[in-house]
């Protein structure tokens, strides 16, 4: 620094003035940039990126509960009124897409308490070839997501992650070992054309061999009744016109998945795949979402001790 700069009475004032102008300009640019970034424009200079950008734009960051990755608690239902926190639900998707490739294995007989039955079957399909196993897996996935959003702990008996099965006796064991508060086996029927509607299969009072449904008959009926009401309301479908006397309920003693269960369990036949009108519903993704909602509502009503007509959401 030169001596004549320090002695000049004008230069310090000029420096101060220039500094003030620069500071004002910089502050104005920062304010403008912050405003642009706050509108969530990812291309605006200075806009937040990554997680911060998602928050500014009003979108949850990837992996947040609101994206459904960790269970959807952000919708307020997992820990608010109607919460199923602490409840364990087992979903049993009927059949397995690969069963048809293992005819010998699924034909082997297993003990269902009162007698012996085939390990599993291939299930039915629509006339256009949409298989029951694909339907049950799709609805089960939708149901799983809805129940987790409500706070429940959910387990599937399988997820097409094994070559065949599980066998009907193992399906019951999975629910038992999980200590499930409720188990729903998702199916679609393969009855005659003109047979339409859904029905819920309830366990009969069975005692013999490994089977003893004494303690679950009552709770399973309560689950089934709520499920029938909520499913009909959500889907607009009527109870089956070919069994159950219009109640949508059918009691059976020949199903190993029910006979061997020690926890409340029902089967739900969501419709008849062999009837064209029902098949049109079962193959519609929007209707399958309604079906999952109806099942979730019925399970929720049962677990919370509510009537199925109560809107717990």
Residue carrying structure tokens 């309604």: 290
b/e burial code for range 212-248 (CB count within 10 A of at least 16 → b): bbeebbebbbbbbbbbbbbbbbbbebebbeebbeeeb
Identify the three-state secondary structure at position 313: coil
Measured between alpha carbons, how far is 184 from 200 in angstroms, rounded to an integer?
10
Report helix angle 285-303 to 132-149, nearest 10.
Answer: 50
- Of 224, 227, 236, 231, nearest to 261 by C-alpha is 224
Contact (Cβ atoms closer than 8 angstroms) between residue 73 and residue 145: no
Please tell me which residue in 132, 225, 269, 312 is annotated as part of the active site: 269
How many angstroms separate the Cα of 98 from the Cα of each of 94, 165, 233? 12, 8, 33
Active site residue 39: no
d(CA 248, CA 230): 11
Give catalytic residues, as residue numbers: 269
């Amino acid at each position: 620094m030169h001596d004549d700069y320090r002695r000049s009475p004008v230069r310090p004032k000029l420096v101060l003035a220039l500094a003030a102008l620069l500071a004002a300009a910089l502050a104005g640019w920062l304010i403008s940039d912050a405003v642009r970034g706050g509108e969530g424009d990812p291309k605006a200079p200075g806009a937040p990126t990554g997680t911060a950008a998602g928050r500014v734009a009003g979108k949850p960051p990837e992996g947040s509960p609101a994206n459904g990755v960790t269970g959807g608690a952000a919708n307020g239902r997992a820990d608010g009124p109607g919460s199923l926190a602490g409840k364990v639900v087992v979903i049993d998707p009927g059949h397995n897409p690969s069963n048809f490739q293992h005819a010998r294995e699924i034909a082997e007989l297993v003990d269902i308490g009162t007698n012996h039955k085939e390990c599993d079957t291939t299930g039915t399909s629509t006339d256009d070839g949409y298989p029951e196993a694909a339907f049950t897996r799709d609805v089960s996935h939708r149901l799983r997501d809805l129940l987790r959003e409500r706070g429940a702990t959910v387990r599937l008996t399988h997820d097409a992650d094994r070559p065949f099965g599980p066998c009907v006796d193992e399906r019951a064991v999975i629910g038992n070992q999980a200590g499930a508060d409720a188990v729903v086996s998702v199916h679609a029927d393969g009855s005659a054309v003109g047979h339409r509607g859904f029905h819920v299969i309830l366990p009969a009072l069975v005692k013999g061999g490994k089977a003893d449904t004494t303690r679950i008959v009552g709770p399973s009926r309560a689950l089934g009744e709520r499920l029938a009401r909520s499913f009909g309301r959500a889907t607009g479908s009527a109870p089956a016109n070919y069994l159950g006397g219009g109640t949508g309920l059918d009691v059976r003693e020949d199903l190993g998945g029910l006979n061997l269960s020690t926890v409340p369990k029902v089967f739900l036949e969501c419709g008849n795949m062999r009837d064209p009108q029902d098949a049109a519903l079962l193959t519609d993704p929007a209707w399958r979402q309604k079906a999952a909602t109806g099942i979730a509502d019925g399970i929720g009503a049962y677990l919370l001790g509510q009537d199925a007509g109560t809107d717990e959401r």
